[in-house]
Structure 1
Amino acid sequence: MADSAAIGIFDSGIGGLSVARAVRELLPDEQLIYVADSGHAPYGEKTDEYIYQRMQAITQHLVACGVKAIVVACNTATTAAIKELRAQYSLPIIGVEPGVKPAVLGSKTGVVGVLATPRTLLTPAFAHLAERYAGQAKIILQPCPHLVPMIERLELDCAALRKRVTGYIQPLLAQGADTLVLGCTHYNFIADVIADVAGPAVSIVRTETAVAKQLQQRLAQAQLLNSGAKIGADRFYTSGDAGLFNQQLLRLWPAVATALPL
Structure 2
Amino acid sequence: MNAAHTAELPDDLVAFDVRRDGHVAEVTLLGPAKGNAMGPDFWRELPLVFRALDADPDVRAIVLTGSGQHFSYGLDLNAMLPGWSEFLAGDAQAGPRTRFLDEVRTMQEAVSSVAKCRTPVVAAVAGWCIGGGVDLIAGADIRLASADARFSVREVKVAIVADIGSLQRLGAVIGEGHLRELALTGKDIDAARAERIGLVNDTYADRDALLAAARALGAELAANPPLVVRGIKDVLSMGTEQQVDAGLRYVSAWNAAFLPSKDLGEAVQAFLEKRPPHFTGE
| TM-score past 0.5 threshold | no
Normalising to structure 2: TM-score of the pair? 0.24
Normalising to structure 1: TM-score of the pair? 0.25
RCO greater where, 1 or 2, for CA within 8 Å and sep 6 or more? 1
